[in-house]
């Protein structure tokens, strides 16, 4: 009986082994390639994360150099570090922040052309919409000061996040008023006044003064806007 049981067990094992061989002959290559693909994807994901972290650390180190250069008012070093960041880490948030910092120092040192270039780079390249908006507003202010009104309006015609939209409207009002387009300026100031929150009460008050100077009651406009809603 033991011999028969053993033979029966051997036959079952042989049958299972044969089924396994048949299964592997049919699906083995596909399983192997699928496993390789998963392992490659996992390795690539790990490599990408490592590369991203390494890039961030290196960009942060350059940003520290930018802070030191701007605090010292060193224009040459500021422009050199900015060029390095733009070339090596154009997609890093640190690069956009460094360009904004550099532009501020360049304006203070009367290097307006270089400041405009730095701000234009952030407006075009920054991944963060808040940094882009900040750059566009500052660039528009420089263009407005240079009486380059059409170029300023071009920067202000971009889409702005809700938090920045009232500021862009107020700046458009300034540019349009400088162009002699009073009615259009009033409309933009009205948008700005209605959109500015209590957290920006001082700036809202300034826009209100501009409307009043143009013969418009800002509170009446805000009240009409509320009724329309």
Asked if the model's pLDDT at residue 180 lies above 90, the reply is yes
Measured CA to CA in angstroms, residue 113 lies from 76, 98, 109, 127, 187 at distances of: 14, 17, 11, 23, 31
Sign of the Cα pseudo-torsion (114, 153, 138, 95, in order)? negative
pLDDT of residue 46: 47
- Distance CA(169)–CA(13), nearest Å, equals 81
pLDDT of residue 48: 43
Tell me the pTM.
Answer: 0.72
38: left (phi over 0), alpha (psi -120 to 50) or beta: alpha
Q: What is the pLDDT of residues 37-49, one digit of tens each?
A: 665 555 554 454 4
- Any idea how long the chain is? 229
Q: Are 109 and 93 in contact (CB under 8 A)?
A: no
φ and ψ at residue 79, rounded to 5 degrees: -70, -35
Using only C-alpha atoms, the chain has a radius of gyration, in whole angstroms, of: 32
Q: What is the pLDDT of residues 67-122, one digit of tens each?
A: 999 999 999 999 999 999 899 888 888 899 999 999 999 999 999 999 999 999 99
């Amino acid at each position: 009986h033991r011999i028969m049981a053993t033979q029966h067990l051997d036959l079952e094992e042989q049958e299972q082994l044969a089924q396994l061989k048949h299964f592997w002959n049919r699906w083995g290559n596909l399983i192997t390639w699928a496993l390789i693909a998963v392992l490659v994807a996992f390795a690539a994901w790990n490599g990408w994360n490592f590369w991203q972290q390494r890039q961030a650390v290196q960009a942060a180190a350059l940003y520290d150099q930018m802070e030191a250069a701007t605090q010292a008012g060193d224009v040459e070093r500021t422009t050199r570090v900015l060029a390095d960041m733009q070339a090596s880490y154009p997609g890093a948030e640190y690069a956009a922040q460094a360009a904004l910092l550099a532009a501020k120092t360049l304006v203070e040192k009367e290097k307006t052309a270089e400041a405009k270039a730095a701000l234009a780079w952030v407006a075009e390249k920054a991944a963060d919409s808040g940094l882009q908006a900040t750059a566009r507003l500052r660039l528009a202010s420089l263009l407005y000061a240079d009486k380059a009104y059409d170029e300023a309006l071009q920067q202000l015609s971009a889409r702005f996040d809700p938090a920045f939209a009232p500021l862009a409207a107020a700046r458009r009002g300034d540019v349009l008023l400088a162009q002699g387009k009073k009615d259009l300026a009033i409309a933009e100031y009205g948008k700005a006044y209605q959109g500015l929150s209590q957290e920006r009460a001082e700036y809202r008050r300034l826009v209100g003064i501009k409307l009043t100077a143009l013969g418009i009651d800002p509170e009446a406009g805000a009240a009409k806007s509320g009724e329309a809603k």
